[in-house]
Amino acid sequence: MSGGQTKVKEINTVEQIPFWRDPDKLAIFYQAVVLSLVISFGYYLFYNAQTNLAKQSIRTGFGFLHREAGFEIGESVIAYSAANSYARALAVGLLNTLKVSFLGIVLTILLGVVVGVARLSTNWLVSRAAAIYIEVLQNIPVLLQLFFWYTIFHSNLPSPRKSMHPLPGVFFNNRGFYYPLPADNPVYVWVGIAFIAALVAGYILRRWARVRQDKTGQIFPAGWCAIGLAVLLPVITWAVGGAPKELNVPHLIGFNFEGGINFSPEFGALLLGLVLYTSAFVAEIVRSGIQAISKGQTEAAVSLGLKPRRVLGLVILPQALRIIIPPLTSQMLNLTKNSSLAIAIGYPDFVAVANTTINQTGQAIEGVALIMIVYLFISLVTSLFMNWYNKKKALVER
């Protein structure tokens, strides 16, 4: 009896619970321990870095960005010379990264969707071919693929004097890929404006068509009209503007080509390697996305009397997209991050330029921090955009 009474007493006197059994206090204790460990470790690293930097007489901070870079960059979207500052050099690198990532993402999605759909083809040969494409490219490191393409572009293509010449004005050689560009003419500004106007008109047309369909049930071929507009309007503008036919054709001067537009072998190898590698993953995502839609959906749509194209466009794709978009986003980010392998084949992307900067200035911490910030920023913007798109798709689909 007496034992039972003491137990009751203990339960009643809550304050007597020792702190090592009180979850709230323990939580605070654990967090304090972890935080102090992290902070003291961070301070230890900071302290070491300070003394080491002082010893090597490296000044910390981002002041070096304004100094003269003093190195050339092979290709650049904006004007750049060795006399420009490090900041401008890094900007050139960033733009090169964005250029290859953007083009790469667009091509990857196109190729990935084609291969993914081919994987599901009823044609045995086509689906086998797609399966082999996916397995081979997924299972070889992207860096090896980059080296492979780069050697082919750089060592196995002929020299500029013996360029391959598949079409008039188009040249392949080990310095790059050259093709003609229409010569400068004010008409092209108007053609560009016409193209943008056509896009806007197409968008408005689509909204109008949707409203009309909701009201009357009639379908208006807005997609085809928009494509027609986007092609016709610029062509008409070009014809009205006098139809300039002059081309800026690349031609051999000395040892190299001048004029036209070119891709360097580094850029070509990087783009090709990234697109082939990532498209294999995108193809798998597309395949599993489409397969995840149950067969009943297709059958129901067909029994409603929809044509095969409409079944795909109105029933399957809107549902499959919802499954496809999140993993697709992470593949797009992977492509962007993998573009940093450019440094291995000499394409001047952001990491390559930052690495040169680190080697020249010794500002290792700042350089690595810049690389990380830039990629984090790109990741953040891409995921924000894709999340927005994802939400939009999800809402439309309900």
Partner 1 sequence: MESSKEITAGSELKPPITSVGVIGWMRENLFNTPLNSLLTIFILFCLYAIVPPLVKWAFFNADWTSSGQVCKESTGACWSVVTNNFRFILFGFYPYDEQWRPTVSIVIFILLVIFSHNRRFWNKNLIYVWVGGVVVMGVFMRGGLFGLSVVESTKWSGIILTLMLSLFGLTAAYPLGVLLALGRKSSLPAIKTLSIVYIELIRGVPLISLLFMSSVMFPLFLPEGITIDKILRAQVAIIMFTAAYIAEVVRGGLQAIPSGQYEAAEALGLDYSQKMRLIILPQALKVVIPPTVSILISAFKDTSLVIIIGLFDLMKTTQVTLSNPEWSGFSTEAYIFIALLYFGGCFAMSNFSRSLEDDLKT
Q: Which residues bind partner 1 (CB under 8 A)?
A: 27, 30-31, 34-35, 38, 45, 48-49, 51-53, 55, 121-126, 129, 135-136, 138-144, 147-148, 151-152, 155-156, 337-338, 340-341, 343-344, 351, 355, 358, 364-365, 367-368, 371-372, 375-376, 379-380
- Residue 204's identity, in one-letter code, is I
Nearest distance in Å: CB 81, partner 1: 26
* Three-state DSSP state, 62: helix
Q: Which is nearer to partner 1, 193 or 376 (CB)?
A: 376
Strand order from edge to edge, sheet including 176-179: 164-167, 170-173, 176-179, 261-263
Nearest distance in Å: CB 16, partner 1: 20
The answer to whether the CB of 80 falls within 8 A of the CB of 322 is no
Q: Which is nearer to partner 1, 54 or 227 (CB)?
A: 54
Q: Which is nearer to partner 1, 126 or 199 (CB)?
A: 126
The Cα angle at residue 282 between residues 279 and 286, in degrees rounded to 5? 135
* Three-state DSSP state, 256: strand
Nearest distance in Å: CB 51, partner 1: 7
Q: Which is nearer to partner 1, 45 or 193 (CB)?
A: 45
Q: Which is nearer to partner 1, 237 or 361 (CB)?
A: 361
Quick one: tokens of 109? 């999605």
Quick one: tokens of 307? 């044509």
Nearest distance in Å: CB 18, partner 1: 15
Integer Cα distance of 224 and 220 in angstroms:
9
Q: Which is nearer to partner 1, 126 or 170 (CB)?
A: 126
Nearest distance in Å: CB 146, partner 1: 10
Categorise residue 242: left if φ over 0, alpha if ψ from -120 to 50, beta otherwise.
left
Nearest distance in Å: CB 162, partner 1: 17
Integer Cα distance of 16 and 168 in angstroms:
92
